[in-house]
Amino acid sequence: MATDDLRRLEAQALEQLQQCSDEAALRAWNTHYFGDNGLMKAAFGKLKEIPKEQKAAFGAEANRVKAALTEAYEKALAAAKERALQISLTTNPLDVTLPGRMPRRGRLHPATQILRQIYAIFADLGFQIYRTREVETDAMNFEYLNMPAHHPARDMWDTFFTTTPNVVLRTHTSPGQIHVMRAAAGRPIRVILPGMCYRNEAISTRSEIQFYQVEGLVVGEGVTMADLKGTITAFARRMFGPDRQVRIRSSYFPFTEPSIEVDIDWPHDDPNRDRLTKGTGWLEILGAGMVHPNVLRAGGYDPQKVTGFAFGMGPQRMLMLQHAIDDIRLFWQNDLRFLQQF
C-alpha cells in the first residue's frame, strides 16, 4: 500500500458519503471506515509494512485523509440532522401558540388549612401545641374527666368501644387535659390539643363519625373566667373579624364548673347570616368552662392552689361557617372537585 492507495480510499469514501441520504446511512458509513474493523484502521495497520524511508510520508498522508474524512462526515451528519428536523417540522407541524398544559398544583386539605390558622392564632397568644393519642382508656376519656362508670353524662358522647375492654376511640380531645397535666407535673400550663375524635353517630350532613377538635387548657395560680373570656374573644376576633362580639351562655359539661357555651355575633354583611344563625344573629363556636376540681386532682394539681379553664372547638364547623359548606361529609370523601376549591 502506498500514499496513492490512501488517496484512492479517500476519493471512494467521499463519493460514498455523498450518497448517504440520512443519518442511519451516515453512521453505517462511519463504521465502515472508522470502526474497529474499518478501512482507515486497516490503512494505518499497513504502516509497519511500509519501507522505512516512506513511512513518514505515508503516515502524514494517512493523518491528512483521516482528518479530511472526519470533517466531511461531521458536516454531512449535521446537514442530515437539520434536514430531518425540517422534514418533521413541515410534515408534522408543531403549533407553538398552543397553551401549555398546566401542571397540577398540590394543596393542603381544607381541614389542615384551618387547623394551621388556629395554631397560628394561639401561638401568638402564647399557647403550645400538645398532641395526645386517639385511642384511649375508658378512664382517660371519662373517669378522670369526672364521669365515673354509669355516670349519665357519658351518654353525651356516642362512643366507639374496641374489642379490648376499657379501650375506646376518644370521643373528644378532653382526655388530653389529663395527659398534659400529668406531663407538666405541677407547672403552669397553656396549651392547645388538636386532633381527631370519633363518635358512633349516624352519618348525615351534620354529623360524621370522625372530626377534628381543638382543645385548650390553661392551668395556673389565679386563672379566672375573665381570662377564658379574654382568650376566646381574642381568638374570635382574629378568626372571624375584628368587630366580633362574644356571648356567653351557661351550659353543662361534667369536667368544667361552671360550664359555658360561647357564641359570636355573625357578620351582618354575610347574606347567609339569617339562615346560619336561625334568625338569632348568634352562632355557637365552642364549649368551655373552668376546669372541675376533680379533673385538676386527676391531673395531679391541687385545686386549692391553682385554677384553670378549658375549651373545645370544632375547626371543621368553623370552616363550614366561613365557606357556607352545608355537608360535613364532604371533608373525608376526598372528592377533588370539593378539595380543589380551597
Binding footprint of ligand PHE on the chain (CB under 6 A): 172, 174, 215, 253, 256, 287-289, 310-312
Number of Cβ within 10 Å of residue 282's Cβ equals 18
* Contact call for residues 336 and 317 (beta carbons, < 8 A): no
CB-based closest residue to ligand PHE:
312
C-alpha cell at position 124: 401568638
Who contacts 165 (Cβ-Cβ below 8 Å, separation ≥6)?
A: none
Rank residues 247 and 273 by Cβ distance to ligand PHE and give the closer one.
Answer: 247
Rank residues 66 and 170 by Cβ distance to ligand PHE and give the closer one.
Answer: 170
In the complex, least distance from residue 199 CB atom to ligand PHE, rounded to whole angstroms: 9
In the complex, least distance from residue 286 CB atom to ligand PHE, rounded to whole angstroms: 7
In the sheet with 246-253, reading across from the earlier edge strand, the strands are 128-129, 189-198, 210-220, 307-313, 282-291, 256-265, 246-253
In the complex, least distance from residue 311 CB atom to ligand PHE, rounded to whole angstroms: 5
Rank residues 65 and 193 by Cβ distance to ligand PHE and give the closer one.
Answer: 193
Rank residues 10 and 215 by Cβ distance to ligand PHE and give the closer one.
Answer: 215
In the complex, least distance from residue 213 CB atom to ligand PHE, rounded to whole angstroms: 6
Identify which of 324, 321, 295, 317 has the alpha carbon closest to the alpha carbon of residue 307: 295
Rank residues 6 and 168 by Cβ distance to ligand PHE and give the closer one.
Answer: 168
Distances (CA, A) of 221 to 97, 235, 255, 307: 70, 22, 19, 6
What is the sign of the dihedral through the CA atoms of 61, 67, 72 and 73? positive
Helix axes 52-91, 3-19, angle to 10 degrees: 0
In the complex, least distance from residue 270 CB atom to ligand PHE, rounded to whole angstroms: 26
Rank residues 23 and 284 by Cβ distance to ligand PHE and give the closer one.
Answer: 284
In the complex, least distance from residue 249 CB atom to ligand PHE, rounded to whole angstroms: 13
Identify which of 64, 146, 101, 135 has the alpha carbon closest to the alpha carbon of residue 310: 146
Rank residues 110 and 289 by Cβ distance to ligand PHE and give the closer one.
Answer: 289
In the complex, least distance from residue 322 CB atom to ligand PHE, rounded to whole angstroms: 20
